[in-house]
Structure 1
Amino acid sequence: LVAAASLRDPEHRVAKRSLRCSRDSALCCRRDHYVDFRAIGWNDWIISPEGYQLNYCVGQCPLHVAGSPGMASSFHSAVLSLVKANNVRTAAHSCCVPTRRRPLSLLYFDRNSNIVKTDIPDMIVDACGCS
């Protein structure tokens, strides 16, 4: 048995869809948004950071996008999109939702003025997809 392998030409790469929204994005994407804790009045108890990149998901999820690999938030969403594409009646609509989040580390004063360090799960949206 002999196996042969060939390397792909680097110029023939498939372009990946951008995670972040461009200025004129209409399809589901991640919009960058910074929250300044001073602006929302939390700087009196949060020591660090001074703010963070919250981010959020926005955009349309038409059928041809909602079921595509990498855009569907789950296998369930991909199947539901196929069901809708085949004109099977369903009340469900695809929405642009977070598909990957990460925690935010905070240093803050608790009620007894103790300094506490904690990691709050799912505070930063890293990626979006259609649900």
Structure 2
Amino acid sequence: MPHLMLEYTDNLGEAFNPRLTLFKLHKSLINAHLCEADELKSRAIRVHDHLIGDGSREQGFVHLRFAEHACRDEDSKRNTMESLHKELCGCVGNPPFPVQITTEAIELQPEARRYLKSIRDVR
């Protein structure tokens, strides 16, 4: 079950649409046959209080953390990360200041992790 955690600075305004970005990232993972749509879980967090560098000039950031199970080979993991980063870069417009765009991949180690999941369906 891959997780996408997207953080972005609030000063990006119209230059960044987090909902559309999550949709595109989901589509990229599904089209690469890395998971089923129902297995993806994502969230976008708008960061109001932030500091980049020494704060002497306005800057912004978009940071994606991709967490997945550790069972895939290194080439597959690297290709996935590069694909997600490319998609993410394409989702950031052109604000009048520099924007750092970063992607981080972490592995979920099944033996070191405890997780419970319930689904309540209202249908």
Q: TM-score, normalised by structure 1?
A: 0.27
Greater C-alpha radius of gyration: 1
Going by fraction, where is strand more abundant, 1 or 2? Answer: 1
Higher relative contact order (CA 8 A, sep 6+): 2
Q: TM-score, normalised by structure 2?
A: 0.28
Going by fraction, where is helix more abundant, 1 or 2? Answer: 2
